[in-house]
């Protein structure tokens, strides 16, 4: 997806998220929230940050799986440490696998603002399963 050979996930366009790097067990995304993500008091809704962290944690797990194997989030815990205010710019989120597995995999993530301040952290558990044959 990063090199354009595969289309990005549709939610990426909806949430203004872009994958910028991937390695074995590690993924990095960028996200520039616009006014569509603001709540009535002018801060980015926590659901956007949660979705961003769920995406990087899950994609980090996906990067460790062989072809024909999929995953889904079983659980995610997000700790919001500071608000993302209107006009503060781009967020960067990094997901890393903490323990791969054949049935369950565990990953963590962190989101930072343009100044490198930690915005939120996450821990995630993913169910790993064989994909149905087409």
Residue 64 falls inside a structural domain: yes
Counting the structural domains of the chain, the total is 1
Per-residue pLDDT reduced to its tens digit, 27-39? 999 999 988 898 8
Structural domain including 22 reads 10-130
Residue 78 falls inside a structural domain: yes
Per-residue pLDDT reduced to its tens digit, 67-124? 999 999 999 999 999 999 877 889 999 999 999 999 999 999 999 999 999 999 999 9
Measured between alpha carbons, how far is 21 from 54 in angstroms, rounded to an integer? 16
Residue 70 falls inside a structural domain: yes
Query: For residue 30, what is the domain's CATH number?
Result: 3.10.129.10
* Residue 75 backbone zone (phi > 0: left; psi -120 to 50: alpha; other: beta): beta
The answer, yes or no, to whether residue 134 has pLDDT greater than 80, is no
Q: How confident is the model at residue 56 (pLDDT cuts 50, 70, 90)?
A: very high
Quote the DSSP letter at residue 11: H
SS3 15: helix
Residue 93 falls inside a structural domain: yes
Residue 15 falls inside a structural domain: yes
The predicted structure's pLDDT at residue 90: 95
């Amino acid at each position: 997806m990063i090199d354009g050979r595969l289309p990005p996930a549709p939610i990426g366009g909806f949430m203004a998220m872009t994958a910028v790097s991937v390695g074995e067990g590690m993924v990095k995304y960028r996200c520039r929230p616009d006014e569509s993500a603001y709540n009535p008091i002018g801060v980015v809704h926590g659901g956007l940050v949660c979705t961003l962290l769920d995406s990087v944690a899950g994609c980090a797990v996906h990067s460790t799986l062989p072809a024909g194997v999929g995953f889904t989030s079983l659980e995610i815990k997000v700790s919001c440490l500071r608000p993302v205010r209107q006009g503060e710019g781009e967020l960067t989120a990094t997901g890393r696998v903490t323990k791969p597995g054949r049935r369950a995999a565990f990953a963590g993530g962190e989101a930072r603002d343009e100044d490198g301040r930690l915005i939120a952290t996450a821990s995630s558990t993913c169910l790993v399963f064989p994909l149905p044959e087409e």
